[in-house]
Amino acid sequence: MKKLLSTSLFTVAISFLFIACANQPTTSTIISDTSMLKASPFKDGAHYYLKKGVNFKNYNNIEIPAIPIIKSDKKDASLDEALLNSISVYFRKSLLSELNSVVSKNSKQGTLTIEVSVTSLGKEFKDLKFYQYIPVGLALTALKRGAGFEDKNLVIGIALKVTDTKTKEVLAMVVDTDIKEGIKSDQKIKLSDVTPSLDKWVKHYKIKLQELLDNKHSNL
């Protein structure tokens, strides 16, 4: 009986975890060749590409198309079209304002196009600890998750590609992820849950753009 119960629990655990693994973020179509990316020295998990010798002083204007958002948690009803649109508009408006404030003083009349995509947005479980891979621990973890007793993370991924608007040459690319911990399984996601991550990215890339103009760094 104990063996049967153990086997049943293990089967439930494996099934649950396979379902969780299948719900991975969709890759962005903005960046087609990820082999060009290398690890960022500023943040674990972030990767970037920067064209050697690019001079951002040649540009005094930045354009950003509408920002698409991919839901990684398809079943989360709180991530509705109204919220996704609000996130997209907020992020685009912030990036346009802050990044243009950096380049607008340049004397050259070039324009940059920055394509941005939120490549994943949704609640996801934390990575398993080593002891949770033990059969009993695995089963208990799966049952807790299935019952909604374990908190999740709010995971937000972005991809960003900078091109010369006139020549279409790719000048820079970035992929990054930010995580907000302690989200309840049934918690409804609001704009205020997402904006801290967006604000963090806007501030970071505003600083990096200014440093590139000042020749202080050669990475993102």
Q: In the chain, pLDDT over 70 holds for what percent of residues?
A: 74
Domains by residue range for the chain, with CATH:
34-126+150-213 (3.40.50)
pLDDT at res. 13: 42
- Please check the confidence at residue 206 and state whether its pLDDT lies above 90: yes
- Please check the confidence at residue 76 and state whether its pLDDT lies above 90: no
pLDDT at res. 25: 32
pLDDT at res. 200: 96
- pLDDT (mean) for 179-208: 91
Distances (CA, A) of 72 to 69, 120, 172, 201: 9, 5, 25, 20
Selected residue with higher pLDDT from 48 and 3: 48
Q: Out of 11-15, 90-94, 116-120, 151-155, pick the least confident.
A: 11-15
Distances (CA, A) of 107 to 96, 97, 110, 111, 114: 19, 18, 9, 12, 20
Confidence of residue 148 (pLDDT cuts 50, 70, 90): very low
Q: In the chain, pLDDT over 90 holds for what percent of residues?
A: 55
- pLDDT (mean) for 24-38: 72
pLDDT at res. 161: 97
Pairing outcome for strands 170-183 and 47-50: antiparallel
pLDDT at res. 8: 47
pLDDT at res. 77: 84
pLDDT at res. 150: 54
